Chain A
Amino acid sequence: MIEVYLILIALAVVLSMYRFFRGPTTADRIVAVDIMTTLTTGLMVLFALYYRRAIFLDVALVYAVLAFLGVITFARYMEGGL
């Protein structure tokens, strides 16, 4: 059952990759990266379930923090706050 979810989320990442490569504006690409990082966090949690290792959840937590900060950095750069 988990495999189905893994494939679905991986498919969603590939689909948002389309917006990343084609997106006409920079904001489109940043939003695409934001979506991809959020999906990847979910993917990591699912992998923790798949391998039945609770310690993998730590990695997902770190990734959530870093992904959030990355998007904030790009957004601040675009509004001239750096």
Chain B
Amino acid sequence: MVKRILAIVFILIIGFWMAKALDQVPFGQDRMLVGKYYLEHVKEETGAVNAVTAVVVNYRGFDTLGEVTVLFIASTGVAALLWRKKRKRTAKTEGSVVLTTGARLLLPFIMLFGVYIFIHGHLTPGGGFPGGATIATAFLFLYLAFTVYEVDHKIFEPLEGLAGVGYVTVGLIGLAIGGYFLFDWIWQTWGIGKENIGRLLSAGFIPIIYTLIGIKVGTELTGIVDNMIKEPEEGGQ
């Protein structure tokens, strides 16, 4: 009881302290310095209508590379922690007919929607990470509905690696053409799609990178689900 009261008092003190600090920050006022630059120059500099994806992929592409690396390390870490030679699914209860039929019918729609999100990253909200998560959701649906389902590891893990290598390759091509890593070579030197800003074929390399990130995130999250859902066989190592 004393411990709990102490904890509550401590949290209240921290909360008061942070509120005091936030009191100095002017919310809702026009105090943007970098943000204003992004909003004013995003169209002619990147060709993207969605300013968030332009910042994430184009202006601050290096951070996105770090995020993708973090996800890759998470996936590899889960796989390394749960590594056993013989592992298989131990689910006993079959999914009901409604669930399995629903999974069969809904799967293409969820997949298509995920692909839609990451292809239209420069036009609509979302991008590679939500799109990839939606694709992983489709595979999670398969895992939930069928007790024996398992993804094809011969295809999935190479695809994950290839997508990551593709992202770095796009950055390296930018380094070769423009002089720095993740230089937007399609937009700034070739100028493809200058006329149709706001349409699908615009925004330089943002759709390409987001397609790669979408594939990578989708396969990685599916791999994490696959690793966590399987257990070692009885008696076997």
Taking beta carbons and an 8 Å cutoff, which residues of B are in contact with A? 91-95, 99, 110, 113, 117, 124-126, 130, 133-134, 137, 140-141, 144, 147, 229
- A to B CB contacts below 8 Å, 13 in the list: A56-B125, A58-B117, A58-B125, A58-B126, A59-B125, A65-B137, A66-B133, A66-B137, A69-B144, A72-B141, A76-B93, A81-B95, A82-B91
Q: What A residues does B91 contact at CB under 8 A? A: 80-82
Among residues of B, the one whose C-beta sits closest to the C-beta of A66 is B137
Contacts of A61 in B (CB 8 A): 113
Known A62-B117, A65-B134, A81-B91; contact A76-B144, beta-carbon cutoff 8 A: yes
Residue of A nearest to B130 (CB): A62
Residue of B nearest to A53 (CB): B125
Main secondary structure of the interface of B (DSSP, over half): helix
The answer on a CB contact under 8 Å between A79 and B93 is: yes
Q: Chain B residue with minimal CB distance to A56? A: B125
- Beyond the given A76-B144, A81-B94, please list 20 additional residue pairs across the A-B interface where CB-CB is below 8 A: A56-B125, A58-B117, A58-B124, A59-B125, A62-B113, A62-B117, A62-B126, A65-B137, A66-B137, A69-B137, A69-B144, A72-B99, A72-B141, A72-B144, A73-B144, A76-B99, A80-B93, A81-B93, A82-B91, A82-B144
Does A4 have its Cβ within 8 Å of any Cβ on chain B? Answer: no
Cβ of A2 under 8 Å from chain B: no
Q: What is the CA–CA distance of A55 and B93 in the complex, to the nearest angstrom?
A: 40
CA distance A45 to B24 in the complex (A): 35
Question: Which A residues are within 8 Å of any B CB, using their own CB?
Answer: 55-56, 58-59, 61-62, 65-66, 69, 72-73, 76, 79-82
Interface of A is mostly: helix
Check if A73 sits within 8 Å of B110, measured CB to CB.
no
Question: How far is the CB of A1 from the nearest CB of chain B, in Å?
Answer: 26
Q: Which residues of A contact B125 (CB under 8 A)?
A: 55-56, 58-59
Residues of chain B lying within 8 A (CB to CB) of residue A76: 93, 95, 99, 144
Please name all residues of chain A whose beta carbon is closer than 8 Å to the beta carbon of B130 when the two chains form the complex.
62
Q: How far is the CB of B176 from chain A (nearest CB, A)?
A: 36
- Cα distance A82–B117 when bound, in Å? 29
